[in-house]
Structure 1
Amino acid sequence: MKKLFVFIILFYLSFPLFAQICKETKSNEIKGQFINGDYFEGKYNYCRLINPKEDNISQINLNINGTTNSYIYVGGGNPTIETSNLGVISIFDKLGGMESPAKITYLTRINKNLIKLGEINLDYSQGQVINYSIDNVNNKIDALSATFLEKIKQSFINNTKLSYPDYFLLLLFDSTLVNDISSDWINKFYAKLNLMQHRDLINIYSQNIFFKNTTLCNKNKNEKNAFGCQIKNRKLSLCYNYVNSNLFYRFGTQSKIELELVKVIEDKDKKNSIISFANKDIDYVVDTKPGKEGIKIKRKEIQLYNFQCNPSTVEPMILDSFN
Structure 2
Amino acid sequence: MRAMLLVNPKATTTNARTRDVLIRALGAAVDLAVEETRYRGHAASLASTARAKGYDLVAVLGGDGTINETVNGLLNPVDGEPARDDPSAGRPGLIVIPGGSANVFARALGLPNDPVESTGAVLEALREGRRRTVGLGQALWEGQSRYFTFCSGMGYDAEVVRAVEGLRGAGRKATPTRYVNTALRHYLATDKRHPAMTLTGPGIPTAEGVFMAIISNTSPWTYVGTRPVTPTPWASFETGLDLLGLRRMSPVALAPVIRQILTESDVLPSGRHLVQLHDEPEFTLTAGRPVAFELDGDYLGERETVTFRSTPNALQVLV
Please indicate, yes or no, whether the TM-score normalized by the shorter chain is above 0.5.
no
State the TM-score, normalized to the length of structure 1.
0.30
TM-score, normalisation: structure 2:
0.30
Task: Name the structure with the higher strand share.
Answer: 1
> Which has more radius of gyration?
1
More RCO (CA 8 Å, sep 6+): 2
